[in-house]
Amino acid sequence: MAVRNLRYEGDEILSKRCREVTVIDDRIRGLLADMADTMYSTGNGAGLAACQVGVLKRLVVIDMGDGLKKLVNPVIVETKGLQRCTEGCLSFPNRYGKTARPRVVTVRALDENGREFMMTGEGELAKCLCHELDHLDGIVFTQKVYEWCE
C-alpha cells in the first residue's frame, strides 16, 4: 500500500481522542495496510495507532514478531499484575522512559473484516497494547513516565 507521514511530539492530533469506526470497508482496510507499511518502514516499530499517521480513528496495528495484528475499535477488558517497562514511541524519536503497565492485558476488538475477537498479551505485548490503546484516547507515553532514560 503506502507509507504515511508520522506525526511527532507537539502535533496536537496526538492529544485528541480517536473516533469509533462505524463501517469497516475498503478505505479502513487500506488505512490499516498503510499503517502496517508505515510501522514496518521505521525498522523499530512494534505498534502504531491511526492518530500517529494523522487519522482520528480507533485503529491499531501491532507486530511483536509473531505476525501482524490489525485491531478496529479495541478495548481493554481485563488487566492483571504490574510490570516496570522501558518505553519509547515512533512519535517521540530517541526518547525513552520507565513506565508501569499491567503485566497481562486482554483486549476485545474487531478484525479488518468486522469479526470480533479477543486477544491476551503478556509482558512486552501487554505493554504495547496499553501504549497503542492509550494513543486512541489522546494519551502519550510521556504522560506515564516516572523516570527518563539517558
9 belongs to the catalytic site: no
Cβ atoms of residues 129 and 62 within 8 Å:
yes
Q: What mean pLDDT do residues 43-51 have?
A: 94
Domains and CATH numbers, the chain: 12-148 (3.90.45.10)
Q: Which position among 20, 112, 124, 132 bears the catalytic label?
A: 132
Binding region: 89, 131, 135
Using CA atoms of 30, 31, 34, 36 in order, give the dihedral in degrees to the nearest 10: -110
Which three three-digit cell numbers place residue 115? Answer: 469479526
Q: What is the pTM of this model?
A: 0.96
Per-residue pLDDT tens digits for 63-120? 999 999 999 999 999 999 999 999 999 999 999 999 999 999 999 999 999 999 999 9
What are the Cα distances from residue 6, in Å, to 43, 136, 143?
14, 15, 19
Binding region for Fe cation: 89, 131, 135
